[in-house]
Amino acid sequence: MPRAFRLGLEGMGMSTCARVNPVFTEELQQLNKDAADYGTKREQKHVKAVKQWAEGEMRAAANTWEDILAEFPTDLMACKFAHEAYFFMGDRWNKRDSVKRVIGKYKGTEPCYSYLHGMLAFGLEECGEYRKAEKEAQQALSLNRFDSWATHATAHVMEMEGRQDEGIHFMENTVNDWKPGWMIATHNFWHNALFYIEKAEYEISLSIFDQEISPRLAKSGSMLDMVDAVSLLWRLEMEGVNVGKRWNTLPSMQKHIHDHVIVFNDVHLGPMLLKMEDYDDEIKLHDSLVNFSRCCTGDNARVSRLVGVPLYEGMIHYGRGNFDEAAAKLLPIRDTVYTIGGSNAQEGYSNSYPNTSYKSFQRMINDSYIDRGMKVGKYACSLKVFRQFLATKTARILYILGKTADNEKILDEMLLEVDESSKESIFHSVFTVLKEPHLRTPFFIGCLSLQLIVCIWPIIYLSTDILEENFSEETSQIASLAFIMANFIAGMGGMFIIEKYSL
Q: What are the tens digits of pLDDT across the range 428-446?
A: 555 555 555 666 666 666 6
Q: Averaged over 494-501, what is the pLDDT?
A: 50
Q: Is the pLDDT confidence value at 18 over 80?
A: no
Q: Are 433 and 446 in contact (CB under 8 A)?
A: no
What whole-number distance in Å separates Cα of residue 277 and Cα of residue 259?
A: 21
pLDDT number for residue 335 = 86
Q: Is the pLDDT confidence value at 174 over 60?
A: yes
- 152 class by beta-carbon count within 10 Å (0-12 exposed, 13-18 middle, 19+ buried): buried
pLDDT digits (tens, 9 = 90+) for 329-348: 998 998 899 889 877 666 65
**Amino acid, single-letter form, for residue 470:** N
pLDDT number for residue 25 = 85
pLDDT number for residue 370 = 39
More confident residue, 279 or 433: 279
pLDDT number for residue 343 = 77
Q: What is the pTM of this model?
A: 0.71
**Average pLDDT of the chain?**
79
Length of the chain: 503
Reported as a pLDDT band with limits 50, 70 and 90, residue 182 is: confident
Q: 458-463, long-range: CB within 8 Å, 24+ apart, which pairs?
A: 458/482, 458/483
Q: Averaged over 223-251, what is the pLDDT?
A: 93
pLDDT number for residue 89 = 92
pLDDT number for residue 448 = 61
Reported as a pLDDT band with limits 50, 70 and 90, residue 272 is: very high
Which of 63-77, 354-368, 387-401 shows the lowest per-residue confidence on average (mean pLDDT)?
Answer: 354-368
Q: Is the pLDDT confidence value at 202 over 50?
A: yes
Taking the CA of residue 469 as centre, how many other CA atoms within 13 Å lie in the half-sphere pointing to its CB? 0
pLDDT digits (tens, 9 = 90+) for 286-320: 999 999 999 998 899 999 999 999 999 999 999 99
Q: Are 263 and 308 in contact (CB under 8 A)?
A: yes
pLDDT number for residue 139 = 97
pLDDT digits (tens, 9 = 90+) for 33-91: 988 989 899 999 999 999 998 888 999 999 999 999 999 999 999 999 999 999 999 99
pLDDT number for residue 13 = 75
The neighbour count for residue 210, using CB atoms within 10 Å, is 13
Q: Are 1 and 46 in contact (CB under 8 A)?
A: yes
Q: Is the pLDDT confidence value at 349 over 50?
A: yes
pLDDT number for residue 496 = 53
**What are the C-alpha distances in Å from 171 to residues 129, 193, 301, 347?**
21, 10, 37, 21
More confident residue, 460 or 178: 178
pLDDT number for residue 434 = 55
Q: Is the pLDDT confidence value at 167 over 90?
A: yes
Estimate to the nearest angstrom the gap between the alpha carbon of 483 and the chain centroid: 35
